[in-house]
Amino acid sequence: MNFRSLITTPDKLCGTVADALLVVVATDPDRQALDASLQAVLSEAINSGDLALKAGRTLYVHRPVGMKAARLVFSVAADDGAKAFKVALVAGLAQLKSLGVKHLAVAASAALEEAHAEALVAAVTDAVYVYRHTKPSAAAAPVLDRVTLLTDKASAQAVQRGLKRGEAITAGVTLARECANRPANHYTPSNLAAEAKRLGKAYGFKVEVLDRKDCEKLGMGSFLAVAQGSDEPLKFIVMRHEGAAKASPPVVLVGKGITFDTGGISIKPAGDMDEMKFDMGGAASVLGTFRALGELRPKLNVIGIIPSCENMPSGRAVKPGDVVTSMSGQTIEVLNTDAEGRLILCDALTYAERFKPAVVVDVATLTGACVIALGHHRSGLFSADDALAEALLAAGGAALDPAWRMPLDDEYEEALKSNFADMGNVGGRAGGAITAAMFLKKFTAKFRWAHLDIAGTAWKSGAAKGATGRPVGLLTHFILARAR
């Protein structure tokens, strides 16, 4: 997909050469910065009742008189912000989806900024994404391959920066979606490691992949316990983007890489278990973020850590009531084998200590409880560090990839007490997302830490079933903000 900007003025919109012109308009009829011909079409549509200036409304006009573009779409935005702009773009793009549009031009009545340009790239890339790795009968890819964002001279540089950043981030989002969408027999821990190596070769990242023997030497008893039930070999992946001086403390991203989660001996119900191929969404988002970093090259050191395995029931599988020893030396009573994500993450968090990190952010499809608490719009954010939490919330807002901060009060830790180990791996049903975060917190005493529970945002169910690629946008914006 080729994205570019073009400097123009409102009086020249009708002369735009493209297969379609998509114009995002305001709800206020007095604020439309359009040329006379376009304004006449818009006014006539409003007066005839074909279009109401209400957010979400659209109008398609074929072969509009006086225009060089063969197709015209008006889409109404709720306000001038980037989020409303993106929503309007999505609605407008739906009008053009099945048409033979190769070149799309986009204009807006609002002044455009970097965030608008980035939102455009995200909306278009999402609209044209088609999964076909194991579905050769999938619909043909959309013919749209060129998008021009029309802007004024004052906004041109900002728009160009936004387009560049948007292309890098959406490339990462697309990679994360593609990895998570692939069935578990097509995307194993070994495939995850191979993808990391491919990225390393393409962008100059250092990549190290540890196997079972390496993890045994390190004392990763918790990670090993989860992996022992599967015939697929575990992989512990470490990626390094070296954008600053060697002594500069890195940002460390830790992604949960359970490529399929049956629940183990605490087996899940059969319904919707197919979606547990998405349980490596955290790992996919770390890979996607590194893909974006490869394009943007921020002057910051970033480490990616991905513990990856399957969680399977077998004669070798860890059992409820087993006690394992984590890399930190703390012992864990495995009360529920379906709470396996925290068991692999805790050893990865301990491993992160060796990098003397500036901050550590772990990302995981960790708990169904987070879905109950927040639904599918916002990821759950947990951190005892106010400044770090605020930075992540701001990054999510800038990326239109929002999170919501959840509590970490000490009282929640009571639920993790065990008579037979330093801690249990689960508490009661109440506050399950919080007690999961409290478990991880026990392994983070030596660095600033935050946890993102993306169980509700990493994929969609139903007719639109598929990975979203979140929170690649949030993570990339967080890193870029620290690199300034």
Q: Report the pLDDT value the prediction gives residue 179, as an integer from 0 to 100.
A: 98
In a domain, 26, yes or no: yes
pLDDT digits (tens, 9 = 90+) for 78-123: 999 999 999 999 999 999 988 999 999 999 988 999 999 999 999 9
Q: What is the predicted pLDDT for the residue at 8?
A: 92
Same domain, yes or no, for 331 and 473? yes
Residue 41: give its domain's CATH number: 3.40.220.10
Tell whether 356 and 285 lie within a shared domain. yes
What are 319-366's pLDDT values in tens digits? 999 999 999 999 999 999 999 999 999 999 999 999 999 999 999 999
Over residues 430-467, the pLDDT tens digits come to 999 999 999 999 999 999 999 999 999 999 999 999 99
More confident of the two residues 116 and 141 = 116
Greatest C-alpha distance within the chain:
80
Q: Give the Cα separation of 370 and 365 in Å (integer).
A: 9
Q: Kindly state whether residue 242 falls inside one of the protein's structural domains.
A: yes
- pLDDT of residue 142 exceeding 80: no
Closest C-alpha to 288, from 220, 395, 363, 228:
363
Segments forming the whole domain that contains residue 201:
174-483
- Of 71, 342, 442, 470, the catalytic one is 342
Residues 187 and 254 in one domain: yes
Residue 139: per-residue pLDDT: 72
Which tokens is 372 given?
């109950």
Annotation marks residue 342 as catalytic: yes
pLDDT band at 275 (very low <50, low <70, confident <90, very high): very high
Q: How far is CA 418 from CA 244, 323, 366, 424, 442, in A?
A: 44, 10, 21, 5, 14
Please check whether residue 165 lies inside any domain of the structure: no
- Which pLDDT belongs to residue 155? 95
CA dihedral sign of residues 388, 391, 393, 396:
negative
Q: Residue 47: pLDDT band by 50, 70, 90 thresholds?
A: very high
Catalytically annotated residue among 161, 164, 268, 446: 268
**Would you place residue 28 in the very low, low, confident or very high pLDDT band (cuts 50, 70, 90)?**
confident
Residue among 346, 445, 448 nearest 391 (CA)? 448
Instruction: Judge whether 163 lies within some domain.
Output: no
66: pLDDT confidence band, cut at 50, 70 and 90?
confident
Tens of pLDDT, residues 414-434 = 999 999 999 999 999 999 999
Beta strands 206-210 and 235-242, pairing class:
antiparallel
Question: What is the predicted pLDDT for the residue at 321?
Answer: 98
Is residue 166 domain-resident? no
CB 331 within 8 A of CB 417: no
Q: What is the pLDDT of residue 83?
A: 97
SS3 186: coil
Count of structural domains within the chain: 2
